[in-house]
A = this chain, B = another copy of it.
Amino acid sequence: MANKVLVAQGGGPTAVINQSMVGAVLESRKFRNVELVYGAFHGVRGIVDEEFLDLTQETSHNLELVAQTPSSALGSTRDKPDLKYCQEIFKVLKAHEIGYFFYIGGNDSSDTVRIVSEEAQKANYDLRCIHIPKTIDNDLVENDHTPGFPSAARFVAQSFMGANLDNWALPGVYIGVVMGRHAGFLTAAAALGKKFPDDGPHLIYLPERVFDIDRFLADVKATMERYGRCVVAVSEGIHDAEGTPIVVKLAKEVEKDAHGNVQLSGTGQLADMLCDEIKNKLGIKRVRGDTFGYLQRSFVGCVSDVDQREAREVGEKAVQYAMWGKQDGSVVIERTGFYSVDYRLAPLEAVAGKTKVMPDEFITASGTDVTDAFRLYLRPLLGSGMPDAYRLRQNLVEKVLKK
């Protein structure tokens, strides 16, 4: 059997994707049958271009430092390989005598692994193909959650914790737009920044529910009347009853990526548009919108230690499954306690190309808040050392002039 290992990273970077890469590399280097460990530059693109790094020559010390560094140290790609592309991948793997292929990515990447695995079987070439989960969207089926999501969720929670404090000091409407095309998990994480009953986010809009602009305006108005201020968390993926993204309804130009998806991130359009609606229709003057953009997936210095550990472990486990098993598959995370996890290898076709969204039990009947079940689900993932916000106690002084 071919005795080289190839590791690659695909899709959007996360704060902990390098933990998975380093976990796979260091674990591979422990196996005596492994001759060399390669890394592909820029995911599948680097494979077809034969752009490989020899990671066997890398020091374990530097690997540990890279593991702590956010974003994809091997580079990534948005290419979504079709059958022909996957055949090219397989040709290169064979030419380099790769016996073990590990691809760290989301559901598009798992589908690539599935096709490459099938090509190898057709050619009767002995290749273990393992998909290692990663996505801040938390939308991989079979998984309790996915590496990368907890750290991004922590960034979102901490952002809203600060935005709420800022909005309390200078009241008005604040809208924070969070990543997540179909799944609202990351937007919902904003709720974990709340402490006191009147804290924001007061309203949370998820792609799992239909977004109605008139209801939105009524919600904001009611919140302003109740609290004198309003903090709103909005998913970039909110859409109308027909499924048309709200941002598309207003964008003059719609950019599409290689997957045929509408480009939602990297612009402030949605936040600006919602702010304009509030200013114009409700006559509120102080309305501010932030789009968290790329900060939420690659900010350095806001990482969940639980996420780091699990991302490392899925990389390690992938290698163990590959070396000791006879099956290709996708490593999945299962929750076994409050809080502990274990891992298993699921069939690739069970994960590939599928999308998980928030279950109904995580969303309140109003559709604009999360339930305690969601809080209990997310809290342990955020890790240790979560910051906390404190207030002055309200010992009011009696007025002298205006009694």
- Point out residues on A near B: beta carbons under 8 Å: 9, 12-13, 38-39, 42, 49-50, 52-55, 57-58, 62-63, 65-66, 68-78, 91-92, 95-96, 158-159, 161-163, 165-166, 168-170, 174, 193, 265-269, 271-272, 275, 287-295, 297-302, 387-397, 399-402
Contacts and interface: CB of A to CB of B under 8 A. Distances in A.
Contacts of A78: 170
Contacts of A65: 388, 390
Contact of A53 (B63, B165, B295, B397): B397
Nearest to A54: B395
B402 A75 contact: no
Contact of A289 (B266, B389, B390): B266
A269 B62 CA distance: 41
Contacts of A272: 267-269, 272
Contacts of A290: 266, 291-295
Contacts of A193: 300
B267 A50 contact: no
B295 A288 contact: no
A61 to B, nearest CB: 10
Given A394-B53, A397-B52, A400-B50, A289 B268 contact: yes
Contacts of A53: 392, 394-397
Contacts of A266: 275, 287-290
Contact of A158 (B62, B291, B300): B300
Contacts of A289: 266-268, 293
6 contacts: A13-B170, A54-B397, A57-B395, A91-B401, A266-B289, A269-B272
A284 to B, nearest CB: 12
B295 A295 contact: yes
Given A266-B290, A289-B293, 7 more contacts: A62-B393, A91-B401, A162-B298, A166-B297, A267-B271, A268-B269, A301-B387
Contacts of A92: 400-401
Contacts of A38: 397
B401 A50 contact: yes
B58 A392 contact: yes
A328 to B, nearest CB: 23
Given A298-B165, A299-B159, A395 B58 contact: yes
A264 to B, nearest CB: 11
Contact of A294 (B50, B77, B166): B166
In the complex, the 4 A-B pairs of residues with the closest C-beta atoms, listed nearest first: A268-B268, A266-B288, A71-B165, A290-B293
Contacts of A95: 400-401
Contact of A165 (B62, B70, B174, B391): B70
